[in-house]
């Protein structure tokens, strides 16, 4: 690689890092506004114009808060757990295509890496994410954290299967594991049309994997206070928060890429160069709003309902859906 | 592929870290620390696979071993809440089998690493790099091997694993407590004599339905 290739790569990585580090601030604000409107209350409205600086102020508060470590915790693991939470969430962003290739002196793809095993890399990183939860819950030496970690590990392993089955059906249609190829394969028809069932399965699994309502059993505040991160404070706690929002964004980006044609859409007149990125961001925003909507409207599942729903309903549907997809593909070719 | 600077540095880092974490896994007294060290080993070995150009194998290694198997270990360890191993000698009778086997393995390792050029020339395998790039990547090469050349053994292994899974379910399932889980009242009435320790036999019920 020459100098410019290195520079472009480092710029891309830094862009992902900044997105990760600062993305949570506007997202938290938006979520609180949306929740406020849906629950007939104001939401944040004091700091800045209509409360627009609220989450920046919260971030500042977390930054200067004391970093508490419980006396009888397992110090090494306790220290490492937030890192383990953040690392896979950031690594998985490397394969997300934000837009098509653009010409800027040389051809630059708007993604960090086009792996030929792309979507499997995402699944692998998603399965590593559970370690942050398990390590934090175990090392805190607290009942609530322990229970949260137990729930999370069982829940994430189970819903990973659902997600894998949904992704496999898409791979069968696209004939490739690379996300760029998957987006290109949707030139004629977005995969949500032939794979509506796969799309629904993926959305269910995405909500469960990110531990969001109505599947937020690992941190159910009415019973477990805050679940696996109950003992954390200050910046360490902020890491968990950032990882949660980065994972939500990642899932929204993956739904857009796998089922809604990624950056594909009509070319916007006047903004030809940017229209791909704009379409992609619009689709991501739609799903982020969906996450907020779910949280505002759905009551939390009971834990046995959650597991039964996965193993007795979603996984059988996923297997049948996969078989049908494979059969249709065989019939076509 | 192994002769540019980046791969050499990456190889030595991955190799040393993998062996170091492996040693840590063996000496750690706390089973959870052992499990975490095992994840680090798996991660670095996956990195070695990437250097060898086997991306699919690397990702499958992380997704299956780190993502499913070791998480299950950790889950079990947390359920049992094993903080430390009892501080007793862990050398058992297996040591008399273990030492000769270890020496044999060490000799094998030395022979392979010293005699590398001749041996690696003799074991080219079915898929040298040229064939892999011709097939379109290591994923395709693996698919050809699994679904064309070795279809029957692959299916045999699948059937065997399914049988093992069903066997595990049958063995782990306790018939009495299962009946009580569905109809606690009916089970009590139908067998009034056989359940003297009733509270303890009824206790696992919520736990089982949670799983």
ipTM for the predicted complex comes to 0.78
pLDDT at A307: 86
Question: What CA–CA distances, in Å, run from A37 to A40, A42, A212, A256, A293?
Answer: 5, 7, 19, 26, 11
- Domain ranges in chain B? 1-85, 93-123
pLDDT at B157: 92
Question: pLDDT grade, residue B158 (50/70/90)?
Answer: very high
Which pLDDT tens digit goes with each residue over B96-108? 888 899 999 999 8
Cβ neighbours of B211 in A, within 8 Å: 154, 307
* CB of B73 less than 8 A from some CB of A: no
Q: Is the dihedral of CA B121, B124, B130, B132 positive or negative?
A: negative
Nearest residue of B to residue A305, measured between CA atoms: B210
How many Å from the N-terminal Cα to the C-terminal Cα in chain A? 40
Which pLDDT tens digit goes with each residue over B9-32? 888 898 899 899 988 888 877 788
Question: What CA–CA distances, in Å, run from A243 to A135, A183, B108?
Answer: 15, 26, 45
Cβ neighbours of A130 in B, within 8 Å: 67, 71
Residue A48 inside a domain? The answer is no
As given in the structure block, the two tokens for residue A32 are 């609180």
pLDDT at B189: 46
Per-residue pLDDT, averaged over A60-87, amounts to 81
* CB of B181 less than 8 A from some CB of A: no
φ, ψ (nearest 5 deg) of residue B128: -65, 160
Per-residue pLDDT, averaged over B169-173, amounts to 86
As given in the structure block, the two tokens for residue A86 are 């953040």
Contacting B with CB below 8 Å, chain A residues are 74, 77, 115-117, 120-121, 123-128, 130-131, 134-135, 137-138, 146, 149-150, 153-154, 156-157, 160, 177, 303-304, 307
pLDDT at A92: 85
- Average pLDDT for chain A: 82
Neighbours of B206 (CB within 10 A): 11
A261 pLDDT above the threshold of 50: yes
Residue A56 inside a domain? The answer is no
Per-residue pLDDT, averaged over A50-70, amounts to 81
User: What is the CATH code for B1-85?
Assistant: 1.20.120.1200
- Residue A172: give the domain boundaries: 72-332
Which pLDDT tens digit goes with each residue over B59-84? 888 888 888 888 888 878 777 766 66
Residue A8 inside a domain? The answer is no
* Pick from A184-198, B37-51, B182-196: least confident: B182-196
Domain count, chain A: 1
Return d(Cα A21, Cα A291) in angstroms, integer.
Answer: 20
B188 pLDDT above the threshold of 50: no
A214 pLDDT above the threshold of 60: yes
Residue A32 inside a domain? The answer is no
């Amino acid at each position: 690689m020459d100098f410019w290739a290195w520079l472009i790569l480092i710029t891309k990585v830094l862009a992902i890092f900044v997105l990760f580090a600062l993305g949570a601030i506007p997202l938290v604000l938006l979520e609180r506004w949306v929740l406020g409107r849906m629950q007939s209350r104001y939401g944040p409205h004091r700091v800045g114009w209509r409360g627009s600086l609220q989450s920046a102020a919260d971030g500042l508060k977390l930054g200067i808060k004391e970093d508490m470590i419980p006396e009888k915790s397992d110090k090494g693991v306790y220290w490492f757990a937030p890192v383990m939470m953040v690392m896979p969430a950031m690594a998985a962003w490397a394969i997300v295509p934000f837009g098509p290739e653009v010409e800027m002196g040389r051809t630059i793809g708007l993604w960090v890496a086009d792996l030929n095993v792309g979507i499997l890399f995402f699944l692998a990183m998603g399965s590593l994410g559970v370690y942050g939860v398990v390590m934090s819950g175990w090392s805190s030496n607290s009942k609530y954290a322990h229970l949260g970690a137990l729930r999370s590990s069982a829940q994430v392993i189970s819903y990973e299967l659902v997600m894998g089955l949904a992704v496999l059906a898409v791979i069968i249609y696209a004939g490739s594991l690379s996300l760029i190829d998957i987006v290109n394969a949707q030139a004629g028809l977005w995969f949500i049309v032939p794979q509506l069932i796969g799309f629904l399965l993926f959305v269910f699994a995405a909500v469960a994997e990110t531990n969001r309502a109505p599947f937020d059993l690992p941190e159910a505040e009415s019973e477990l206070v805050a679940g696996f991160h109950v003992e954390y404070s200050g910046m360490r706690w902020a890491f968990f928060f950032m990882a949660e929002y980065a994972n939500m964004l990642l899932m929204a980006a993956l739904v857009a890429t796998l089922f809604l044609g990624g950056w594909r859409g009509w070319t916007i007149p006047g903004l030809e160069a940017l229209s791909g990125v704009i379409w992609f961001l619009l689709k991501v925003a739609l799903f982020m709003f969906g996450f907020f909507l779910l949280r505002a409207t759905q009551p939390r599942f009971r834990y046995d309902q959650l597991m039964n729903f996965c193993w007795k309903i979603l996984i059988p549907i996923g297997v049948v859906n996969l078989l049908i997809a494979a059969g249709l593909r065989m019939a076509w070719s | 592929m192994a002769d540019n600077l980046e791969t050499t540095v990456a190889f030595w880092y991955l190799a040393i870290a993998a062996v170091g974490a492996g040693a840590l896994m063996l000496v750690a007294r706390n089973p959870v620390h052992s499990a975490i060290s095992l994840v680090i080993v798996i991660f670095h070995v996956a990195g070695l696979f990437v250097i060898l150009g086997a991306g699919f194998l690397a990702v499958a290694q992380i997704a299956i071993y780190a993502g499913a198997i070791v998480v299950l270990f950790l889950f079990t360890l947390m359920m049992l809440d094993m903080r430390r191993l009892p501080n007793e000698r862990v050398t058992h009778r297996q040591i008399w089998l273990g030492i000769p086997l270890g020496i044999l393995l060490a000799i094998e390792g030395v022979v392979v690493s010293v005699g590398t050029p001749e041996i690696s020339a003799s074991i080219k395998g079915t898929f040298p790099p040229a064939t892999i790039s011709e097939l379109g990547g290591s994923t395709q090469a693996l698919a050809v091997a699994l679904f064309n050349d070795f279809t029957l053994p692959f299916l045999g292994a699948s059937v065997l694993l399914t049988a093992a899974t069903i066997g595990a379910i049958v063995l782990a399932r306790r018939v009495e407590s299962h009946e009580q889980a569905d109809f606690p009242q009916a089970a009590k009435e139908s067998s009034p004599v056989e359940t003297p320790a009733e509270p303890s036999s009824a206790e696992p019920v919520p736990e089982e339905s949670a799983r």
